[in-house]
Structure 1
Amino acid sequence: MTTSTRLLTRKRFMPLMVTQFFNAFNDNLYKTALVLFVVYSVYNDEKQEAFFSGIASLLFILPFVLFSALAGQLADTHDKAAIIRRVKLCEIGWASLGAIGLFMAWQGIAVHTFAIPLLLGVVFLAAVQSAFLGPIKYAILPQHLKKDEVLPGTGLVEAGTYIAILTGTILAGFMIDAIEYVIGLIILTAIAGYFVSRWVPDAPPQGNHELHFPLLEPYAEKVRNPVLRWLGYAPVAIADQIVMSWKLVKKTRDNREIWFAIIAISFFWTIGAVLFIQFPPLAKNQLLATPEVASLFLVIFSVGIAVGSVAINALLKGEVSARYAPICVVIMGFFLIGFYFVSRAWIPNEAGELLPIQLWILEPLAIPLSLILLGISTAGGMFVVPLYAFLTTRCAPDAASRTIAANNIVNSLAMVIGSAVAIGMTALGIPVAEQLLLAAGMTVVSAWLGKKLHAAEIAAAPAFS
C-alpha cells in the first residue's frame, strides 16, 4: 500500500480532504454556474461578457487580500479544526443567498437591479469563507501527518481540490439549462460539507501566539460612544488587516526559499486567473460553442492540474524539491503559445451557430485544442505543487498558517493585477484570444523564479539534511 493510498484510509487525513473537496466543489459549482448563466443568458456582447467575468474574478480574489492575515492569525492561535467547522456552518448561509439570487435571475426578477448584484455579493462571501480555510488546509497537514507524508498529503489535497473543481465545473456547464437543480445542489453540498467537517480531528495551536489588532485596540479604548465605535469599526478593522498583511508578507521575505516559492506560486495563479476569465467569452465568441464547451475548458484545466499534482510526487519520490519547476513552467509557456495559434486558426461553422459539445468536439481543431490545454495545466500542476510543500516544510511549525496566509495575500494581489490587466485589455478592444499571449509571457518570469527557488533550496540544503 502506497503512502497516498494509506492516507486515504486515515481519520487524521480523510475528513479534511473530503471537507476541502466539498468546499471547492460548491465554490466552483456556484461561481461557474453564475458566470455561464450571465454570459450566455443575460449579455450578448464579448466586451460585456469578459468584463463581467473579470469583475466576478476580482470579487472572488479581494477577500484573500483583506482577510488572509486575520485568517492566518486565527489558525495559529486557535484550534484549526474548530475554525473549519464554524466556517463551514457559515457556508450554509451564503449558499442560501446564492440560491435566492440564481432563482431570481432564472425567473427574470429584477435581474440587473437586484439579482446580479446579489449574486456577485455572494461570490465575495464565498471567497471570504475560502480565505479563512486557505491557511488551514495546508498548515494542518504537518500537525496530523508524518514528515514523509506531507508531500503526498499535499498532492492528494491539491488533486482532490481540482477533482472537486472539475466536478463542480462539469455540473455547472451541463446543468445550466436546469438551474433549479443547481440551486438545490448548492444548499445540499453546504450542509454535507458542514457535517463532514465535524469529523476533522482537533488541531490545537502550536506555540504561545495571541490574536491582536494593533490599530483597532487603541481605537476601541479611546472611543467610548458605542454608536461611533461601531461606525468606525469596519474601516479601522480593514486598515488593521492591511497593516497586518504587509507585516506578514514582509516577514516571509526573511526566508529566501519561502519567498521565492510564494512569488512563483503567485505568477502561476495570475496566469490561471487570466485564463479562467477568458474561457467563457472565448468559447462563446471565438469558438462558437455552448456553455458545456466553456465548462469543458475549465474541466480540462482542472484534470491537468490534478494529473500534474500526482505526477510530480511520483517523479520526486516524496522529496520536497523545486528542481523540476523551471522546465515545467517553460513547457507550460510553449503549450500556451500553441493554444493561442490554434484558437486563432479556428474556422467558425458555416451556420454561425453555437455548437453543443457533441458537435463541437467533431470540429477539426477541437481535439488538438483540448490536448494543448491539458498540456498547459499538467505542466502547471507539476510546477506548483512542490512549491506549496515548501511553504509548510520550510517554516517553523507554529508559523505554518501565517506562512500560507502570506502566500494567499501575495497570490491574491498578483491575481488582482492580472485580472485588472485583462479587464483593461478588454476595455481597449484587444480580442480575448490575443490576451492568451499575456499568460504565455508570464511563464518566462515564473521559470526565472523557479530557478531562483531551486538555487535557494540548494544553498539551504545543509539545514534540512
Structure 2
Amino acid sequence: MAQNQFSLFKQKFFSSFFITQALGALNDNIYKSALLIFIAFRAGDELGLSSDLLNNIAAGLFILPFFIFSATAGQVAEKYEKSALIRKIKLLEITIMSLAVLGFFINNIWFLLGILFLMGFQSSLFGPIKYSILPQHLSDKELLGGNGMVEMGTFLSIIIGTVIGGMLIGFGDTGIQILCVLLLVVSITGYLSSRHIPQTPSAQADLKINWNPISETWKTFHYARTNRVVFLSILGISWFWFYGAVFLTQIPNFTKVSLNGNENVATMILATFSIGIGLGSALCEFLSGRKVELGLVPFGAIGMTWFALDIYFANPYSEFTGDLGALNFLIQEGAIRTLVNCAFVGIFGGFYIVPLYALVQERCEKNHLSRVIAGNNILNAFFMVIAALLAAVCLGNGMTIPQFFMLTAILNAVVALYIFTLIPEFLMRFLIWILINTIYRVKKSGIENIPEEGPCVVVSNHVSYVDALIIGGTVRRPIRFVMYHKIFKIPVLSFIFRTAKAIPIAGHKENPELLNKAMYQISEALDQGEVVCIFPEGKLTSDGEMNDFKSGIERILKETPVPVVPMALQGLWQSLFSRKTVNKLVDRVKRLRTKVRLVVGKPIPADEATKEQLYTIVSKLRNNKP
C-alpha cells in the first residue's frame, strides 16, 4: 500500500494511468482552445458568421456525445477488460488527431467542428473508465489520494492545454504546423503509456448491453437512486461542474470588462483557478487522514461561496475595455485580492469534489460503478448546458458578470444546504472534522488493527464528552457508538450522535426498557457486519483514572460472539470537555489545543474476552508511551 498519494506513482498501474488520462485531457484542451481562437480570429470572418455563434456550436458539439453515448459506454466499461478498452480508445484518439491535422491543412472549419464532435465521443467512452478503474487497483485507503491526483492532473492539463492551444494559433501558419505535430505526439505518447496499464478484470462479463441510450440512462438513474447517498453525491458532483463551467466560461470576459485585463491576464486568472483546484485536490488526503472524509465537502462548499462572493465585492464594476497587460494589472489596487479569491475558489472546489468522487466509488456496487459514472457524466453535461443557458439569460438581460458570480455563489450555498439537509452525514462529519482539527491534535497508532470488514466490538476508556467524536473521526470505518443516554441528548452533540446512529443506553435500575432496546440494537448492528463501540466503564471518569469495566460487554459477546478490539484514549483528561476542574485562565487556554493519542490494540477472540482481561489490556494501552 502507498505511504501517501505521491508514492502512488511508484505503482505501475497508477503512474501509467495518470499519464494516459492527463495526456488525454491535455490533447482535448489544446485542440478545443486552438479551435475556439481560430474561430474567433480567422474562421468567423471568412465564413461571414458570428464567432459567438460558432463558439456556441463548438461547445454544443463537444458536449452532445456525452448525452448520446455515455449510457452505452458505461455498459461497455462494465462488460469488458478495461486496459484493452483504454488502448483502443487511445488508438481512436490518434485517428481523430490525424483527421484534425487534415482539417487544419485543408482549412475547413466545418470539418474541424466535426472533429470536435469526435473528440467528445472519445471522451464519453473514456469517462466511465476513468473513475471506475481506480477502485479495482487501489485500496480504500489509497482511493482519496488517487482521486486527488487524478483531479489535479486533469485540471492542470486543462489549463496547460488551453494556454498552449491559444498561443500556437496566435503564431499563424507556423503555430498551426507546430500544433498539428503536438496533437499527434501527445496522442501517440498517451497510447504508449496506456500499454503499461495492467490488465483490469471485467466487472460484469455476462452483462447484456442495452443499445438504447434513453432507456439505459433512465435505468442507470433509477439504480443510482436506490442508494440515496450515492445519488445525492452524483447531484453534488454535477453541481460542481455547473459551478466550474460558470467560472471557466465567464473568466475571459470578466477579465476584460471588470479587471480591464487583456488575454494574458485572462490566461493568468484561468491558470490561478485551475491550479487552485489541483492544489485543493492534492491537499484532500493530507486534511482527511487518508480516508474518505465527508466533512471536507461542506468545508469546500463554504469556501466556494465565500470567495466567489468576495470576487464580486472586490470587482463590482463592468465598464472597462481590457487594456492592461499582466504586469500592469498586478500593480492595480485589488488585483492580488482577486487572484487570491480565484485561487481559493479553486482550492475549496478541490476539497468539495474529490471526496464526492471517492464516496461514489466506495459506496457504489463495483459491478454497477461504470454505469453510474456514465450516468453522472450525462448529468454533468446537462448541468453544464444549464449553466450556459442561465448565463445567456442573465447576462442577456443586463446582469453583469460579477453579479452573475454573486448569484452563482448564493445558489451554491442554497444547493449545499439542500444536499446537507437531505444527507446530515455530511454536516455531521464536518462538525467532527472541525473538532478534531481545531480543539484537538489527534495522533493515532495501531489503527490497522481494526478489521477492514466484518463485525467487531470496539472497547475504550471513557474520559470526556467527545470520546465518540474523537474515535469516530479517526477510524476509517463507520462506527455505531453505545453511549449513556444523557450524553446522547446533549445539544449539538445530539445531532451528531443521532446522525451517526449512536445507540443510547441506561443502567438496568435506571431504565431497563432502554437497556434491553440498546442490547437488541447492538446485536442487530453486529449481525449486519457493523462496528460497535462501547465504553465498558459505563460513565465518565471523574478523576482521570479508569473505572472498573461492567459486565455489559460480556452480555453482548454472549449474544453475538465477535472479535473485540481494545483501544485507549490518552491526553483527553487535560482537554476542554473532560470533568477536570480548572480555575486558572492560562490552564483553560491550554485546554484548547490538547494533544490526544488513540492507541489501538490487536483484536481478541470473543471466547477469550472477559471484562477483567479487557480492563487490563486497555489500561496497558492507556499507559503506552509513543
Bin of the TM-score, shorter chain as denominator length: 0.7 to 0.9
Q: 1:405 matched to which residue of 2?
A: 374
Q: 1:221 matched to which residue of 2?
A: none
What is the CA–CA distance in structure 2 between the aligned matches of 1:460 and 1:252, rounded to whole Å? 22
Q: Which runs of 5+ in 1 are unaligned?
A: 214-236
Write the deviation string for residues 367-398 of structure 1: whole angstroms up to 9, x where unpaired.
Answer: 22211111111111101100000111101121
Give the drift of 1:64: 1.7
Give the drift of 1:446: 3.4
Would the aligned equivalents of 2:28 and 2:119 in 1 still touch at CA under 8 Å? yes
Query: Structure 1 residues 376-385 or 445-454, which shifts more?
Result: 445-454
Would the aligned equivalents of 1:263 and 1:449 in 2 still touch at CA under 8 Å? no
Distance 1:103 1:344, change over 3 A: farther
Which of 257, 261, 266 is the aligned partner of 2:229? 257
1:195 aligns with 2:192: yes
Distance 1:298 1:5, change over 3 A: same
Question: Which aligned pairs between 1:248-397 and structure 2 lie closer than 5 A?
Answer: 248-345=220-317, 348=320, 354-397=323-366
Give 1:381's aligned amino acid.
G
Give 2:15's aligned amino acid.
M
Give the drift of 1:102: 4.4
Q: 2:127 matched to which residue of 1?
A: 134
Query: Structure 1 residues 414-423 or 244-253, which shifts more?
Result: 414-423
* Partner SS for 1:8: helix
Would the aligned equivalents of 1:256 and 1:453 in 2 still touch at CA under 8 Å? no
Give the drift of 1:422: 1.8
Give the drift of 1:347: 7.0
Q: Which runs of 5+ in 2 are unaligned?
A: 429-498, 502-524, 532-626
Question: Number of residues paired by the alignment?
Answer: 426
Give 2:382's aligned amino acid.
L
Give the drift of 1:288: 4.1
Write the deviation string for residues 264-323 of structure 1: whole angstroms up to 9, x where unpaired.
Answer: 111111011122221233334444433332222222121111111122221111111322
Q: 2:72 matched to which residue of 1?
A: 70
Q: 1:22 matched to which residue of 2?
A: 23
Q: 1:60 matched to which residue of 2?
A: 62
Would the aligned equivalents of 1:57 and 1:419 in 2 still touch at CA under 8 Å? no
Higher helix share: 1
> Which protein, 1 or 2, shows the higher relative CO under an 8 Å CA cutoff with sep ≥ 6?
1
Give the drift of 1:429: 5.2
Structure 1 or 2, whichever has the larger Rg, is: 2
Query: Structure 1 residues 150-159 or 120-129, which shifts more?
Result: 120-129
What is the CA–CA distance in structure 1 between the aligned matches of 2:300 and 2:123, rounded to whole Å? 28
What TM-score results when the alignment is normalised by the length of structure 1?
A: 0.84
What TM-score results when the alignment is normalised by the length of structure 2?
A: 0.63
Q: 1:91 matched to which residue of 2?
A: 93
What is the CA–CA distance in structure 1 between the aligned matches of 2:32 and 2:258, rounded to whole Å? 22
* Partner SS for 1:204: coil
Give the drift of 1:332: 0.9
Would the aligned equivalents of 2:25 and 2:158 in 1 still touch at CA under 8 Å? yes
What is the CA–CA distance in structure 2 between the aligned matches of 1:383 and 1:185, rounded to whole Å? 34
Would the aligned equivalents of 1:322 and 1:454 in 2 still touch at CA under 8 Å? no
Query: Structure 1 residues 133-142 or 423-432, which shifts more?
Result: 423-432
Distance 1:385 1:182, change over 3 A: same
Write the deviation string for residues 336-385 of structure 1: whole angstroms up to 9, x where unpaired.
Answer: 1222233334774xxx5643334333333332221111111111110110
Q: What is the aligned-residue RMSD (CA, Å)?
A: 2.7
Distance 1:132 1:353, change over 3 A: closer
Write the deviation string for residues 156-191 of structure 1: whole angstroms up to 9, x where unpaired.
Answer: 111121222232123234434223222321221111
Higher strand share: 2
Distance 1:184 1:294, change over 3 A: farther
Query: Structure 1 residues 248-257 or 313-322, which shifts more?
Result: 313-322
Would the aligned equivalents of 2:37 and 2:169 in 1 still touch at CA under 8 Å? yes
Q: 2:39 matched to which residue of 1?
A: 38
Q: 2:168 matched to which residue of 1?
A: 175
